[in-house]
Amino acid sequence: MSVDVLVIGWGKGGKTLAGALGRAGEQVAVVERSPQMYGGTCINIACVPTKALVVQAEKKRESDDAATWFAASVTKRDALTAKLRARNHAMLDEVDTVTLIDGTARFVGPHEVEVTGGDDVLRVTAETVVINTGTEPARPPIPGVDGPRVLDSTQIQHVDPFPRRLVVVGGGFIGLEFAGMFARFGSEVTVLEQGERLLPGEDADVARVVEQTMTDAGVTFRFGAGASSFDDDGAQVTVAVDGGDDLVADAVLLATGRTPVTKDLGLDVAGVDTDERGFVRVDDHLRTSVDGVYAVGDVNGGPQFTYISLDDNRVVMSALTGDGSRTTKDRVAVPTTTFITPPFARVGLNVTQAREQGRPVKVASKAVADIAAMPRPKIVEETHGVIGFVVDAETDEVLGATLFCVDAQELINLVALAMRAGVTATQLRDGIWTHPSSTEALNEVLAGLKPLA
């Protein structure tokens, strides 16, 4: 088969490119190795299903049986992902110029791949190739790591039986989300974090608030601790902890990062360069070392967010159908959210980073429970958290914000847009916001700006 564009993997960036180019009349082929991954990682095993489980965990009452509630939540999760998967398949299948191929692709030349599906083998050549194979959970080389009760972030979403005791190895964003979720489902959760505190890239006082909030929800943290082995006796798993007492659990979650899906792609045959971890090397236009071959999404080693993959699509579309001026350097004030309860969202500089840069700034910070002009947290009975801002003392430009509060995942987008559009801190402070809403916090918190000591 010969096509104009070949997309390997069904991630956000790749599927969006395939649909747009196909509708523009290009002959496009999309290769996906698993029918359970139509639509990509986000809708099937990551962003959407995990957040659906977080919501169900938050709805659980003390009187609800943990195992029963979790099983029902998983059923709802599966129904949601099945619906989204079918719709994503249809969105490309209905484009006449897009051919969907089930199978595993491997490069046999710079612009040619061999796709294997069962006993069938198909060779596909294309002028433009887009690598969009994403990442998968990493498994560190720890004795016993392949035991039946040692699970990754995909497997634990269907854990059975429900773990009354759960050990989470890794206190990063993925570990925290699952730790909070399972604590609310009813598990006794212990997080092993090798660092001395949570969120080492964030302000220490903010990290303490996050830790206390999760502790209040039932999560136990052990810092300066890692797992050195796992011993499954058929009924439970014993976790040997570096520098501490062993832990006995019904399940272990490995939240130790993700690794690129490039090992079996034959990138060396194609001449596509990768870094020491296997991520595809790209330039600011997402071009690989081979002319006409691009890499989008998590596989290129950039920030591992669905919305970054979507923007990767815009960069490649600019190269293929526009003037090629769009690059990854155009990204300004990119927000992030970790879906613990309440959500933890960040954009731009925090206080520590501003101090390290020596910039003349003003800062403001206030505990959510103390913000009188923000009644929504009290209404929804979730008053944990803190809101903080960093503002340029000379220009009144918002340089960054930390939002650990109800609705943070939405509010952070408003702040990020303000930063990109040059809206000042004073304009946000004096904004007219609906009531009762979380946005009203801007009125009160920004009124307390003071020079950074």
257 annotated ligand binder: yes
Q: Is 136 annotated as a binding residue?
A: no
How much is the pLDDT for 453? 82
Instruction: Provide the whole-model pTM.
Output: 0.96
Arithmetic mean of pLDDT, 120-136: 98
What are the start-end ranges of the E strands in 285-420?
A: 293-295, 336-338, 344-348, 361-367, 386-392, 398-404
385 a known binding residue? no
Q: Give the residue-averaged pLDDT of 408-434.
A: 98
Supply φ then ψ for residue 63, to 5 degrees: -80, -15
The answer to whether residues 150 and 230 touch, using CB atoms and an 8 Å cutoff, is yes
Transcribe 144-171 into DSSP letters.
TTTSTTEE-TTGGGG-SS--SEEEEE--
Residue 435 falls in the annotated catalytic set? yes
Structural contact between residues 181 and 54, judged by C-beta atoms closer than 8 angstroms: yes
Please pick, among 89, 158, 285, 435, the residue that the annotation labels catalytic: 435
Task: Tell me if 150-256 shares its fold with 336-451.
Answer: no
CATH for the stretch 150-256: 3.50.50.60
Prior bond of 342 cis (ω within 30°)? yes
- 243, pLDDT greater than 80: no
Residue 230: which of 147, 170, 140 has the closest Cα? 147
Second CATH level (architecture) for the domain 336-451? 2-Layer Sandwich (3.30)
CA angle 338, 344, 346 (to 5 degrees): 95
175 is in an annotated binding site: yes
Is 298 among the annotated ligand-binding positions? yes
pLDDT averaged over the chain? Answer: 97
d(CA 259, CA 313): 21
- What percent of the chain has pLDDT above 90? 99
Q: What is the pLDDT of residues 350-366, one digit of tens each?
A: 999 999 999 899 999 99
Domain residue limits, the chain: 2-136+259-330, 150-256, 336-451
Annotated binding residue at 329? no
Residue 365's φ and ψ, nearest 5 degrees, are -150, 140
pLDDT digits (tens, 9 = 90+) for 310-330: 999 999 999 999 999 999 999
The tens digit of pLDDT for each residue in 167-180 reads: 999 999 999 999 99
Domain at 2-136+259-330, CATH class: alpha beta
